[in-house]
Amino acid sequence: MFKLSAFQDPLQNWLRDNPHAISPEPFYQRVLCWLGEDLPDLSISRERSRLQWGIPVPSDSTQTIYVWVDALVNYLSVLGYPETHGEWWPAAHHVVGKDILKFHAVYWPALLMAAGLSPPERIFVHSHWTVHGQKMSKSLGNVIDPFACNERYTVDGFRYFLLRQGVPERDCDYYDEKVVKVVNSELADSLGGLLNRSTAPGINPSNTYPCFSETCFPKVVDYREAEALGRAAAEDYEFVVSVASLPLQVASYFEDFQIYKALECIALCVRQTNGFFQRHKPWKLDRKDPADKLWLDTIIHVTLECLRVYGTLLQPVVPHTADKLLSRLAVEPEERKISSLMFLPRYNGKPCPFEGRQLGPDTGILFHKLEKSSQHQIEKKRL
């Protein structure tokens, strides 16, 4: 037996001193509730007659080590415990399903404390995917084949959907039609369409990252005075503020494992950028007119700056699509770090390293639209 009851107070103190040790918040509260009740001591072995496989208890051949003790200790042994684990431990971040929360948030920290080691730094918990409201089950025949989904939707498309729609705090429902709708709307149409429109030869015949005009888009204190000073509207300033705040916002959500919120913010800003482009109709401006040319170049510059931000922030989620987008904008690999991402520097009176740069080669559609019939093919393959 492992004397789990002796660690009730140390576990409670650990969590109260580290309120972000378990997230999202509902799971943190669930563990606190468990620790508020009596903790029974834990049997670390099972009868070998009932469990033929596993590690035998050294002093008793009739007993096998309880699989969860064996499995949890693997986190340390893989790091070279007891000689070299200190290089990595306790800076460990576990990502676990809600159904194994007690093992990772109660048993495992107690075992570590008993061994004189610190608990892991963070435990991120996620819920489950259901299919048309039902739990996935082999007996029901509704298990989703991830290999078929990757083949049909591409790895980027399927990963984007799962992270965009997956809410860690609650179970999420999966159906193929939703994948097609989300991916087509946000990756193919909204993001891909914006790149295509802003780099089209008719709009940007020189295929360059054009200059930004402070005359057309002056920095103002009161947005209501904007149109009297330049050609940008008050809503353009509001949209620029939204995009400027995006990198810190997204980084914070990524850090807190709230990836769906990060993608929601990005998708909103992409829609705003499409609205900005549509609102000012650059295709109607006369490039031969000096005033129109300044404004046309500024519209394209702002749009490309937005796309550069979105491509940079989307790298962890859709790496292939983001690379294709950033390469089209001629953003070099060393210029793609989220930590040093600065949006629209010319608006803030600073030089823009991309201004005047020749864009990268046109490699075609950013993300091909998914066929609506694809869900039937996957359903057929699954059955």
Sketch the domain layout of the chain as residue ranges: 4-126, 155-348
| Percentage of residues in the chain having pLDDT higher than 90 | 85
pLDDT for 52 equals 83
- What is the pLDDT at residue 33? 96
Per CATH, 4-126 and 155-348 having the same topology is answered no
Task: Give the tokens for residue 365.
Answer: 């559609």
Topology (CATH) of 4-126:
Methionyl-trna Synthetase; domain 2 (2.170.220)
Closest CA to 127 of 75, 90, 174, 92: 174
- Write out the two tokens for 358: 């020749």
Q: Specify the pLDDT at position 340.
A: 87
The DSSP secondary structure of 310-328, one letter per residue, reads HHHHTTTTSHHHHHHHHHH
Q: Tokens for 35? A: 């620790």
Class of the 155-348 domain? mainly alpha
Predicted pLDDT of residue 378: 47
The segments of the chain whose pLDDT lies below 50 read 374-376, 378, 380-383
- Provide the CA 30 distance to its chain's centre, in angstroms: 25
Give the chain's count of helices (H) and strands (E).
16, 9
Alpha-carbon gap, residue 47 to 375, rounded angstroms: 47
Please state whether beta strands 172-174 and 129-131 pair in parallel, antiparallel, or not at all (unpaired). Answer: parallel
Residue 79 is classified by DSSP as T
Tokens of 369: 């639209």
Task: With beta carbons less than 8 A apart as the criterion, state whether 279 and 294 touch.
Answer: no
pLDDT digits (tens, 9 = 90+) for 130-173: 998 898 988 888 999 999 999 999 999 999 999 999 999 999 99
Look up the pTM and report it. Answer: 0.89
